[in-house]
Chains A and B, each alone.
Chain A
Amino acid sequence: MNPAAERDAAAEIVELRVPCRAEWVALVRLATAAVANRLQFSIEDIEDVKLAVAEACTAVIQHAAHGEFIEVTCEAMPGALQVRVRDSGHAAGTQSLRLLDFEQARGAGLGVFLIRTLMDEVSYDVHPDSGTDLRMVKRLAGRPG
């Protein structure tokens, strides 16, 4: 990749790292909405992405064995926005959020349901040492999956 192309590609990724606390979820929501807006998602789809990302952060805050940070990466893909939400910075001896725990955690059901309903693709990776990596994709309306 030539330097200009590399610069352009790099410019399409936005990373955010916030403390794993409730008061920071609004910032994540606003930043994600700004990225989705830049990619020309409709207002309705922007609201969907905002809610899904906030639900993922909320799940980490409420149900993970508290990591220190939430890391959010928004990546522009052809015709789509990919958002990854990771919990990180776990204290020794604690575990990160696991899919099974997340799905079965008391009170998490509605949030998980919303994420799965509002986004086009949802998947998890669990890294025992570094935390859980939730990947969500929202496609621009009219783009095939």
Chain B
Amino acid sequence: MDIKVNVREAPGDCYVVDLSGEIDVYTSPKVKDAIGELIDRGVYHLIINLEKVRYIDSTGLGVLIGGLKRVREHGGSVNLVCTNPQIKKIFDITGLVKIFGIFETEDAAMKALA
């Protein structure tokens, strides 16, 4: 089990972080490092694509919340792309749907950043 992280530049001072695999206590540090590195470089508008994520736990949610807190200090934002019903359910029951913008497609997430 592993997590794959791919970072790519998108239009409008925005970066997309593609995640693929499972985000748990073992793999979440890798995600945290990738997001932290972008923020350290001054990237404050992020889209995190969870379409290929099969599983996320509280440590993964913690990493996303931590990233959001950091970018908000600079007037930034984090939008999520998520279609997996089980993962959406986790965002629902934890109330994180009210904190993150969660979108069905990357296009929609990008438009919402603009």
Contact = CB atoms under 8 A, between A and B. Distances in A.
A13 B59 CA distance: 29
Contacts of A54: 24-25, 57
A25 B90 CA distance: 19
Interface residues on B, range: 10 to 19
Contacts of A111: 57-59
Contact of A51 (B1, B62, B90): B90
Contact of A107 (B55, B62, B90): B62
Interface string B42-61: 00000000000001011101
A47 B86 contact: yes
A22 to B, nearest CB: 4
Contacts of B26: 22-23, 25-26
B24 A58 contact: yes
A131 to B, nearest CB: 19
A110 B25 contact: no
Q: Most chain-A CB neighbours within 10 Å: which of B24, B58, B89?
A: B58
Contacts of B61: 110
Interface residues on A, range: 20 to 34
A18 interface: no
Contact of A110 (B1, B55, B58, B89): B58
Contacts, number: 50
Q: Most chain-B CB neighbours within 10 Å: which of A44, A107, A110, A111?
A: A110
Contacts of B89: 44
B94 A110 contact: yes
Contacts of B24: 22, 25-26, 29, 54, 58
Given A44-B86, A51-B90, A61 B58 contact: no
A117 B89 CA distance: 12
B90 to A, nearest CB: 7
A37 to B, nearest CB: 15
Contacts of B22: 26
A55 B58 contact: yes
Interface of A: 22-23, 25-26, 29, 44, 47, 50-51, 54-55, 57-58, 61-62, 107, 110-111, 113-114, 117-118
Given A62-B59, A117-B93, 4 more contacts: A50-B55, A51-B90, A110-B61, A111-B57
